Structure 1
Amino acid sequence: MNKVALVTGASKGLGVEIVKALIGDGYKVVMTSSSRKGVDLVAGELGLEYDKYRTLALDVRDKSDFENALSFCIEEFGSCELLVNNAAITPTTDVMEITPEEFSEVVDTNLRGTFLGCQVFGKYLAGKNYGRIVNISSLAGQMGGTASGAHYAASKAGIITLTKIFARKLAPLGVTVNSIAPGPIDVPSMSEKLSAQQLEDIVNNAIPVKALSSAKYIADMVVMLARKDAETVTGATWDINGGIYMR
């Protein structure tokens, strides 16, 4: 079976780990970001062989961009079997200070982007009678968010609901749709946003297992959910949060 994936938000953090895990599992990956320069830089830093990847600028707020990205996958690699909706922006503005413009920007990128990706790729995968979609949600979307902005938390909660709706719609057509809800992750952006003391406080006081979640493990879970024999796993949200949120 051909194994081709498109990953949004592939220029940093978790997106980079997802790309590495998929290529390690035999996928050819179309790496996308709002700027092609970002994913080109990552591909160069990783030393990827060109037959294993392509890069593409993708504005996830634009349906035509997703349609063009799908066409690009087919032109370059012959098909696409997996979409990973990872792109997101994560401002931490206090709820009383969020402007309507900022709210729209976050929701359009995080939630609208996931919706459009599921819609465009979902139709294509349904036509093939096979495919996988993995959406990256967040602990913030389950608990309402404490460190993250209200608009971010709301968008991530919406992703969990969209995952269920698309999963139900596409299940009879051979397509599974799942989401992953990470808590605090050990990625460079964490240390950029928080001081060493703040990180230590989070690990020791907020996380029962007293450790940040591994980006590599989350990426490995994407690979697991994308496997052909994961056909009965759909509509689920997989929690990776160190025990902060248990259900």
Structure 2
Amino acid sequence: METKVAIVTGAVNGIGRAIADRLVENNFTAVICDINQDEGQKLEEKSSDFEGEYRFKHCNVAREEDVARVVKGVIEEYGQIEALVNNAGIIKRRVGEEISISDWDQVFAVNTRGAFLFCKYLRPQFKEQKQGRIVNISSIAGKMGDITSAPGYGPSKAALDGMTKTFARDLAPYNVTVNGVAPHAIETDMSSEWSEEKRKRIISEIPLKRLGQPEDVAGAVSFLLSDAASFITGEIIDVNGGFLMD
């Protein structure tokens, strides 16, 4: 099978890493864009039992010059890009008036502007190819507001959801689909900050009575990138064990 190329942001660990792993298993070259250079280089050196491979590009998704450089370099190297997964995200846990403007701006810069920049700079390539897939990793907080004392996080993801639908309409004439995945209660570094009491409470509120794994999110992303999802665009798919059914 011909190896395809996908850019995945924030993918040296957690959900992003699970997505990158699944892409490599599906014969993609997974171009990892992350600020963690040491872990990114280790990942690039990781051997694979599949046709796909890991490639690392150092990138701060909030910096336009970084995104422009990475996209230009990947296009020059591979000629075509089949998929983009905007996964990079941060959270600042503050209560109400305690969140600073700089914290608010930083959350939006990574979670929303970073995804916008990659969509912006890849748009001409996708239009020229007349094919492509974009998946933005959102959150349940984008649909129902923050529930973890992080006032900027939910709004940044709500904006991401709106942007997903906007680009879905914009790129549909070029056979490019744009969708989102909204996880909740996934075992990641973010959830590791929870107290045991909070962990038990959250599990009790989930109909499937367990926390999700990064691989659960990767499965949804893999589906949206596949031919089986070619008639789906502008959707935000929940991966939350039934906590939110909409």
TM band (smaller chain) = over 0.9
The one-letter amino acid paired with 1:228 is D
Unaligned runs of 5+ in 1: none
1:16: which partner in 2?
Answer: 17
SS in 2 for 1:96: helix
Mapped partners of 1:160, 1:232: distance in 2? 19
Deviation at 1:48, TM superposition (A): 4.0
The one-letter amino acid paired with 2:124 is K
The one-letter amino acid paired with 2:235 is A
| 1:192-228 CA distance string (max 9 Å, x none) | x012332122112x22221112210210211111113
Q: In the alignment, is the contact (CA less than 8 A) between 1:28 and 1:77 conserved in 2?
A: no
Report the TM-score, using the length of structure 2 for normalisation: 0.93
Mapped partners of 1:179, 1:8: distance in 2? 14
The one-letter amino acid paired with 2:222 is V
Of 135-144 and 212-221, more deviation after overlay is shown by: 212-221
| Matching of residue 154 in structure 1 with residue 155 in structure 2 | yes
| 1:45-80 CA distance string (max 9 Å, x none) | x54489712111111112232221122223333321
Deviation at 1:115, TM superposition (A): 1.0
2:199: which partner in 1?
Answer: 199
SS in 1 for 2:237: strand
2:101: which partner in 1?
Answer: 100
Specify whether residues 19 and 51 from structure 1 end up closer, same or farther in structure 2 by C-alpha distance, changes over 3 A only: closer
Mapped partners of 1:150, 1:188: distance in 2? 19
Deviation at 1:189, TM superposition (A): 3.8
1:89: which partner in 2?
Answer: 90
Deviation at 1:2, TM superposition (A): 4.8
SS in 1 for 2:98: coil
Specify whether residues 25 and 231 from structure 1 end up closer, same or farther in structure 2 by C-alpha distance, changes over 3 A only: same
The one-letter amino acid paired with 1:195 is S
Specify whether residues 91 and 42 from structure 1 end up closer, same or farther in structure 2 by C-alpha distance, changes over 3 A only: farther
Mapped partners of 1:117, 1:108: distance in 2? 12
Deviation at 1:190, TM superposition (A): 1.7
| Matching of residue 239 in structure 1 with residue 238 in structure 2 | yes
Specify whether residues 19 and 240 from structure 1 end up closer, same or farther in structure 2 by C-alpha distance, changes over 3 A only: same
2:142: which partner in 1?
Answer: 141
Of 220-229 and 71-80, more deviation after overlay is shown by: 71-80
Unaligned runs of 5+ in 2: none
SS in 2 for 1:150: coil
Q: In the alignment, is the contact (CA less than 8 A) between 1:141 and 1:158 conserved in 2?
A: yes
Mapped partners of 1:64, 1:27: distance in 2? 26
Question: In angstroms, what is the RMSD of aligned CA positions?
Answer: 1.8
After TM superposition, list the pairs within 5 Å mapping 1:19-58 onto structure 2. Answer: 19-44=20-45, 47-48=47-48, 52-58=53-59
Q: Percent identity?
A: 35
Mapped partners of 2:54, 2:23: distance in 1? 10
Q: In the alignment, is the contact (CA less than 8 A) between 1:33 and 1:59 conserved in 2?
A: yes
Specify whether residues 189 and 144 from structure 1 end up closer, same or farther in structure 2 by C-alpha distance, changes over 3 A only: closer
2:209: which partner in 1?
Answer: 210
Q: In the alignment, is the contact (CA less than 8 A) between 1:187 and 1:215 conserved in 2?
A: yes
Deviation at 1:170, TM superposition (A): 0.3
1:167: which partner in 2?
Answer: 168
Mapped partners of 1:2, 1:38: distance in 2? 24
Q: In the alignment, is the contact (CA less than 8 A) between 1:63 and 1:120 conserved in 2?
A: no
Deviation at 1:236, TM superposition (A): 0.3
The one-letter amino acid paired with 1:226 is L
Q: In the alignment, is the contact (CA less than 8 A) between 1:130 and 1:174 conserved in 2?
A: yes
Count, aligned residues: 244
Mapped partners of 2:44, 2:213: distance in 1? 21
Mapped partners of 2:146, 2:183: distance in 1? 12
